[in-house]
């Protein structure tokens, strides 16, 4: 067969397979038998095997392939993937509506209601019409590249009819039938069963081998966008329609509602219908329809003010409270947890439930061996909600919180205005260990391999007492520990060494300052730049920062006024731990107007700056960095070995600089 005819044959096969796949996986309306689809796919695979030079990334044959990964690469979201605030009843929804109308000075607002899919939030990035990268939400700012696994989801298009760079966001999930089939297979193989479809979906997308992910038959619904260079769209409802037109799978149960009363009617209807679906939902998402209103309402540090998630009433179950165990957190709070006879609640097996604090136990009159009702608060955290007193018998006995810390024996205290009992001993082993675990955690210093069991060992053998000790661990001492071979020790030491280069916000969060979460830590790092400046900051300076409240400001001042904290930070600096903010710092006045409001593309290898450094400089100077060249691109900065982007920029007549020109401008 002539090469031209072969190329046409392959192109026609791909077109047919894309079409049939879209009809089957997106429209749920197959037009050919499975056997015909399989025959065409095999024909394509055979032709591509004979002519590998004709294989393209968007070929249907490339969904499942590649070797298993060694690990997942971190991905920074240029536009954060924020979580939503929750509503649990009609009053919460009406209060949300009031805040929206007050913020917009309107009598009524149009909303879009969508089913809240119970899965894993992901983002999909497309450049020049091709699927380039898929990532998890992670902490909202940084996720993980799971492109290989997302490619296995047949309802995700590998190619779209949109050449501008766009990033779409949605929820990957496991349909109920896939979940039932998979658990049946696991049961036959003697493997542990997945508790619910959500856990199964999350576990599938974190498989290092994409072939395993492909076997799980996941699906996806898209509902939002991140970066968007595909022109202006006025409303969220129009955006959903456009995404659907591009070939993305959109949940068709969405509805535009005029005012909050229609929203409440939609919510109430789905409370009754939720179990009729072929997939799990755990609520309804309500969004202001007009996108320009989103800009007016803005966002808080954690969630947008123009959207809210209504959480369905929690399912309840009855079981027996066998015992109460106590745990001591890193801030010294002693928390009681109920041990229960196993019971199914909202699709998961529950054996433990929160009892919150001593006042809660007394108020509910909870006793050992009681028959209790438990529910999942917000469908997530199990808690004991009430006792069935009619079922009490002679085996029931009261439970009393201790007077002394179960970890160190120090007398417990209740601070003014608090309900929690707290251990005030700064050398309490439980607090120290929890503090070390928190310091090493993913959103803090991200020390891979330093989990709960390793910290327990290090503490037991007196190798660590506080965070500074982590940076003074000796290889020979670690090799003496159980289950710590040479490879594990070397990996751990490398991870500890790498954590020294983290940006300031990770260190701040890792220190465990009361009330300072991930978002607040980054705000502080951006505002002050250096940890010394935060140490010296006054209450008034802190409270002046958006999102830093009175309690948090007071907590920060108290923390840094502690002499032991100052000594610890000085020691960390001596050990080589970075204490400066390394990210891009927004400025109210741009340093230089040379890039003001310009769209810039970086390509090729840069010698004098890293790609992230160059991007940061451009953004500091008012520019916007994108990943692909289009008519909207103002400038291309080309390093060595620049390829197709350079050629395209030359064709479009776009201004092109080399690296030296760029460096001279920014200096």
Residues tagged active-site: 116
DSSP code at position 313 = P
Are the beta carbons of 186 and 194 closer than 8 angstroms? yes
CB atoms near residue 147 (< 10 Å): 20
Are the beta carbons of 381 and 408 closer than 8 angstroms? no
Length of the chain: 667
Query: In whole angstroms, what is the distance from residue 640 CA to residue 621 CA?
Result: 24
DSSP code at position 128 = T
Angle, helix 197-205 to helix 176-188, in steps of 10 degrees: 80
Are the beta carbons of 591 and 560 closer than 8 angstroms? no
Query: In whole angstroms, what is the distance from residue 343 CA to residue 164 CA?
Result: 51
| Non-local CB neighbours of 179 within 8 Å, separated by 6+ positions | 194, 196, 197, 200
Are the beta carbons of 195 and 203 closer than 8 angstroms? no
Determine what percent of the chain falls in helix, strand and coil, rounding each to the nearest 5: 40, 20, 40
453 exposure class (CB count in 10 Å sphere: 0-12, 13-18, 19+):
exposed
Are the beta carbons of 168 and 124 closer than 8 angstroms? yes
Place of tokens 């924020």: 82
Query: In whole angstroms, what is the distance from residue 480 CA to residue 346 CA?
Result: 45
Per-residue b or e along 405-417, where b marks 16 or more CB atoms closer than 10 Å to that residue's CB: bebbeeebeeeee
What is the secondary structure of 485-544 as a DSSP string? -HHHHHHHHHHHHHHTT--HHHHHHHTT-TT--HHHHHHHHHHHSBHHHHHH--HHHHHT
Classify 638 as helix, strand or coil: strand
Classify 636 as helix, strand or coil: strand
Are the beta carbons of 259 and 268 closer than 8 angstroms? no
Write out the two tokens for 231: 């022109």
**Pairing mode of beta strands 333-345, 348-354:** antiparallel
The counts of H helices and E strands in the chain are 25, 24
Are the beta carbons of 619 and 625 closer than 8 angstroms? yes
**Residue 550: its H or E element:** helix 550-560
Query: In whole angstroms, what is the distance from residue 398 CA to residue 388 CA?
Result: 15
CA distances from 420 to 162, 401, 408, 416 (A): 55, 11, 17, 10
């Amino acid at each position: 067969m002539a090469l031209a005819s072969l190329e046409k044959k392959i192109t026609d096969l791909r077109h047919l397979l894309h079409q049939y796949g879209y009809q089957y996986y997106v429209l749920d309306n197959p037009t050919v038998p499975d056997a015909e689809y399989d025959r065409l796919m095999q024909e394509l695979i055979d032709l591509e095997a004979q002519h590998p030079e004709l294989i393209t990334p968007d070929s249907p044959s490339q969904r499942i392939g590649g070797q298993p990964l060694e690990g997942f690469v971190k991905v920074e979201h240029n536009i954060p993937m924020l979580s939503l605030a929750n509503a649990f009843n009609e009053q919460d929804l009406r209060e949300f509506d009031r805040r929206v109308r007050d913020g917009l000075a309107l009598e009524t607002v149009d909303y879009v209601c969508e089913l809240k899919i119970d899965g894993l939030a992901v983002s999909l990035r497309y450049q020049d019409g091709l699927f380039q990268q898929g990532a998890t939400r992670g902490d909202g700012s940084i996720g993980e590249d799971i492109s290989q696994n997302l490619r296995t989801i047949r309802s995700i298009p590998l190619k779209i009819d949109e050449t501008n760079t766009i990033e779409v966001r949605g929820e990957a999930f496991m349909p109920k039938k896939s979940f039932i089939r998979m658990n049946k297979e696991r049961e036959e193989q003697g493997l542990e069963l997945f508790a619910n479809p959500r856990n199964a979906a999350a576990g599938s997308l974190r498989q290092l081998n994409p072939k395993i992910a492909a076997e799980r038959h996941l699906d996806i619904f898209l509902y939002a966008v991140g970066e968007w260079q595909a022109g202006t769209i006025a409303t969220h409802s129009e955006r959903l329609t456009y995404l659907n037109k591009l070939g993305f799978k959109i949940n068709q149960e969405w509805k535009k509602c005029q005012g909050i009363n229609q929203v409440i009617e939609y919510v109430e209807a789905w409370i009754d219908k939720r179990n009729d679906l072929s997939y799990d939902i755990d609520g309804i998402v309500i969004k202001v329809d007009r996108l320009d209103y989103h800009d007016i309402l803005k966002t808080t540090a954690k969630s947008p003010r123009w959207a809210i998630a209504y959480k369905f009433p929690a399912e309840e179950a009855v079981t027996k409270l066998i015992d109460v165990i106590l745990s001591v957190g890193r801030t010294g709070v002693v928390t009681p947890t109920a041990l229960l006879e196993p019971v199914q609640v909202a699709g998961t097996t529950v054996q433990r439930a929160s009892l919150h604090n001593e006042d809660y136990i007394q108020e509910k009159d909870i006793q050992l061996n009681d028959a209790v009702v438990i529910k999942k608060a917000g469908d997530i955290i199990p808690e004991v909600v009430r006792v069935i007193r009619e079922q009490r018998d002679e085996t029931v006995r009261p439970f009393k919180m201790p007077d002394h810390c179960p970890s160190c024996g120090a007398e417990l205290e209740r601070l003014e205005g608090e309900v929690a009992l707290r251990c005030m001993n700064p050398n309490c082993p439980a607090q120290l260990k929890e503090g070390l675990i928190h310091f090493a955690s993913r959103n803090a210093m991200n020390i891979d391999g330093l989990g709960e069991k390793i910290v327990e060992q290090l503490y037991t053998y007196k190798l660590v007492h506080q965070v500074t000790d982590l940076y003074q661990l000796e290889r020979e001492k670690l090799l003496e520990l159980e289950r710590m071979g040479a490879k594990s020790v070397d990996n751990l030491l490398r991870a500890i060494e790498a954590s020294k280069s983290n940006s300031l916000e990770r260190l701040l969060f890792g220190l465990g300052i009361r009330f300072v979460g991930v978002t607040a830590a980054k705000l502080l790092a951006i505002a002050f730049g250096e940890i010394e400046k935060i140490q010296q900051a006054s209450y008034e300076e802190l409270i002046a920062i958006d999102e830093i409240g009175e309690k948090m400001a007071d907590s920060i001042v108290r923390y840094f006024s502690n002499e032991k904290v100052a000594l610890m930070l000085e020691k960390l600096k001596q050990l080589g731990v970075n204490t400066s903010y390394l990210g891009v710092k927004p400025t109210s006045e741009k340093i230089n107007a040379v890039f003001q409001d310009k769209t810039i593309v970086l390509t090729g290898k840069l010698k004098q700056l890293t790609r992230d450094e160059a991007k940061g400089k451009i953004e500091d100077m008012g520019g916007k960095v994108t990943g692909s060249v289009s008519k909207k691109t103002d400038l291309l900065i080309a390093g060595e070995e620049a390829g197709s982007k350079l050629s395209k920029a030359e064709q479009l007549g776009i201004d092109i600089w080399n690296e030296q020109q760029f460096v001279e401008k920014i200096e």
